[in-house]
Amino acid sequence: MLAIYLVTAFLTGAPEADANITVNQPVIDVDAPLADQLALRLIRHHDALTAVSLVYTSVSERRNDQPEGAYWRRAISVSETGMFRSDNSHGHKRRPWQYDPSRKTLVITPSESTLLENLNRSMVMLDYDTSEAPNYIRGENFFEVLGWWPFIKWPPPQWHGHAYSMRAMLNEGSYRLLPEKEVVGSKPCYTLIVNDVLTVWCDCDRPECVLKSEIYDPTTKVLDSKFEMRKYEEVGDNIWLPKQFRFIRLDSHAHTPQLREKVVFDKTFLVSDIKINEDVEMSIFRQEYAPGTVQVIGTQEETRYEPVVNGQLNHFNSILNWCRFCSLEEKAKQNSPWYDRLLIFVLCFLVGSFLVSRRFLRIACKRSDNSR
């Protein structure tokens, strides 16, 4: 259906009429079926996004297995030319994400791909099949939420025989519009079912804004994931992105119907620092190496370190500052005796010193071998 409509629109010049479209006028061509109009608007909306940079942070929640006010922060930047950057970290109310010892920064470009451990200041070069997107990219949450796949040279990941991209699935032409509108939140929505895999609820006043979507296994009809998008903001010329989304994953591969309804992941995220298209600077797709950064080469059994940026003493001081911050927080000062605080600091210092000295020794041994 959509293919015929696109050809007709091209021959008749109908796309030029887009200048007259307003956000409260969902109709593109009154002679076309409404389902085709919605599909075309969604495709054009996705095509208008060629590069995005943003930060999404999980809403703080109280859990028994995490500190008070714990959150997850992820900053991503992506360009359709095959460039991707992510900065992944955790934090909580008393310790910001910059001090997360497991923080990692990933940069993938056509020329090289690197993964940096920020606290250890160690970098590894990544190898992957360039004919398809690396797994680091294919599992990006924000792509799943929007159903958006920006890359030109990489095909989108597959979901039960279908490319998991709203654009690709709509172009297959197998979709239908439910006759009755449904209310999501307080807004009336069109309900579009695509390939019996993806169901989207589009705001009637602004169809580019998908307020809810659900992903199903087409063979078993079991719900796998659902997303709720809120607080859309116009970030470009008639380009809208949500400032809040909820990601829910169910155990759809479980053996019993009851277990398939079990929620295995449920988090709400707040989106900030959004930039799109020409506002995304290409310089962001470069790793920033602090003094003392080394490259890790070899296997787990046989590893060696190559200096990337000199400054091992600077790295040692950064470990010392990290130990001091982690062991001497204000609340710890108030609630812990002095000998407990001293013990924690000494332990942190010894661990950090061991990691740094071990690396120093390997670098020194390598330089000694090369000088012979």
pLDDT given for residue 95 in this prediction? 80
Give yes or no: residues 140 and 241 share one domain.
yes
Number of neighbouring beta carbons within 10 Å of residue 340: 12
Q: Give buried/exposed letters for 294-313 (b at 16+ CB in 10 A, else e).
A: bbbeeeeeeeebeebbebbe
| Beta strands 122-125; 158-159: pairing state | unpaired
Exposure of 102 by Cβ count < 10 A (0-12 exposed, 13-18 middle, 19+ buried)? exposed
The domain total for the chain is 2
Contacts of 239 (CB under 8 A, 6+ apart): 45, 48, 49, 208, 276
Mean pLDDT over each residue of the chain, to the nearest integer? 80
Helix (H, G, I), strand (E, B) or coil at 130: coil
Q: What's phi and psi for 250, nearest 5 deg?
A: -110, 160
What's 62's DSSP letter?
A: -
Take residue 179 and report the two structure tokens written for it: 């006759």
My answer on whether 118 and 169 are in the same domain is yes
Pair (108, 244) in one structural domain: yes
> What pLDDT, on the 0 to 100 scale, is given for residue 39?
92
In a shared domain, residues 281 and 191: yes
* Distance of alpha carbon 213 from alpha carbon 246, whole angstroms: 11
Does 362 reside within a domain? yes
- Full domain range(s) for residue 168: 51-285
Q: Among residues 222, 220, 217, 214, which one has the least CA distance to residue 246? A: 214
Confidence at residue 325, expressed as pLDDT on a 0 to 100 scale: 73
- For residue 2, being part of any structural domain is answered with no
Neighbours of 278 (CB within 10 A): 9
Q: Which of 94-98, 218-222, 270-274 is most confident? A: 270-274
| Per-residue pLDDT tens over the stretch 311-366 | 877 877 787 777 777 665 545 445 555 555 555 666 666 666 665 555 554 554 45
Q: Is residue 246 part of a domain?
A: yes
Q: Is residue 56 part of a domain?
A: yes
Whether residues 315 and 206 share a domain: the answer is: no
The stretch 8-33 carries a mean pLDDT of 38
19 falls within a domain: no
Name the DSSP letter for residue 315.
H
Name the residue with tokens 């032409």. 173
Structure confidence at residue 14 as a pLDDT band (50, 70, 90): very low
What pLDDT score was predicted for residue 63?
63
Q: Which position has the higher pLDDT, 104 or 160?
A: 104
pLDDT, tens digit (0-9, with 9 covering 90-100), for 38-75:
999 999 999 999 999 999 999 976 666 666 678 999 99
Between CA 319 and CA 312 the distance in angstroms is 11
Compare 210 and 163 and report the one with higher pLDDT: 210
Q: How confident is the model at residue 289 (pLDDT cuts 50, 70, 90)?
A: very high
Q: Which residue has the higher pLDDT, 105 or 371?
A: 105
* Residue 138 belongs to domain with CATH number: 2.50.20
**268 in the same domain as 142:** yes
> At 172, phi and psi to the nearest 5?
-70, -20
Quick one: how far is CA 270 from the chain centroid? Answer: 12
Of 38, 47, 48, 50, nearest in space to 199 by CA? 38
Quick check: is 40 in a domain?
no
The confidence score (pLDDT) of residue 358 equals 54
- What's residue 327's pLDDT? 63
- Pair 97, 227 in one domain: yes
Whether residue 307 has pLDDT greater than 80: yes
Q: Which amino acid is at 303?
A: T
Q: Which of 59-68, 204-213, 306-315 has the lowest mean pLDDT?
A: 59-68
Q: What sign does the dihedral 296-297-303-308 (CA atoms) show?
A: negative
pLDDT at 25 over 50: no
β-bridge pairing 210-217 and 222-236: antiparallel
The residue with tokens 């000295």 is: 357
Written as six digits, the tokens of 248 are 């829910």
pTM for the whole structure = 0.79
Is pLDDT at 26 greater than 70 in this prediction?
A: no
Amino acid at 210: V
